[in-house]
Amino acid sequence: MTIRIVLADDQPLVRAGLRVLISDAPDIEVVGEAGTGTEALRLARELQPDVVVMDIRMPGMDGIEATRQITAERLPTRVIMLTTFDGDENVYAALRGGASGFLVKDMVLDDIFAAIRVVAAGDALIAPGVTRRLIQEFAARGPATPPRRLLDGITEREREVLTLIGRGLSNSEIAAQLYISVATTKSHVARLLAKLGARDRVQLVITAYDAGMVAPNG
């Protein structure tokens, strides 16, 4: 199955470079390009691609607002933010807005392909090491109102799993720490996604932050 993507970046050379690189992947096809967030939103509505690779900083409607609208409209499209990451204060806001992960502009080709495939498959590109870095860089920027009401419906075991997700642990690491199987861990994660109305693992991490379950250095 071919993964259909839209490239959104205000720099034509960046889009052209990504298009050339992605053309090497037999299972990924670029179906559209956008130079603004408004254009990216329009193409997401019209083409309904599997993934939009979205630059954060674009004129007019930026990538964060475009991502929020794509998420709010429940389009069958996931967003990967394109960023320099280091020093970019908007990454956490982009994830909170509904992005399923991010690409760094100088990532190697195999990592770009892997990111697109992971997100297109419905997962989130938040590897444990990346999650820990997000905790260090962005969790201290101030949580939103803690969603205590949402947490009322989850079990004590699910709270434990959510806390460990927020700390950046993988399913296998969570299983080892709680002395349960990986399959059981996956079941807990699936129930958390359903109960909390979370789109993916990114939103579970953010929920853990907002609920005060994870300290910036915890």
- The reported pLDDT for the residue numbered 212 is 79
Listed in sequence order, the residues at least 6 apart from 106 whose beta carbon sits closer than 8 Å to its beta carbon are: none
Look at the alpha carbons of 108, 114, 117, 120 in this order and tell me if their dihedral is positive or negative. negative
C-alpha closest to that of 207 among 161, 157, 176, 155: 161
Q: Which domains does the chain have, with CATH numbers?
A: 3-125 (3.40.50.2300), 138-210 (1.10.10.10)
Q: What is the pLDDT of residues 11-37, one digit of tens each?
A: 999 899 889 988 888 999 999 999 999
- Phi/psi of residue 200, nearest 5 degrees: -165, -170
Q: Can you give the pTM of this predicted structure?
A: 0.70
CA distance 119 to 134: 18
Identify the DSSP state of 61: S
Q: What is the pLDDT of residues 117-149, one digit of tens each?
A: 888 877 665 544 455 555 555 555 555 555 556
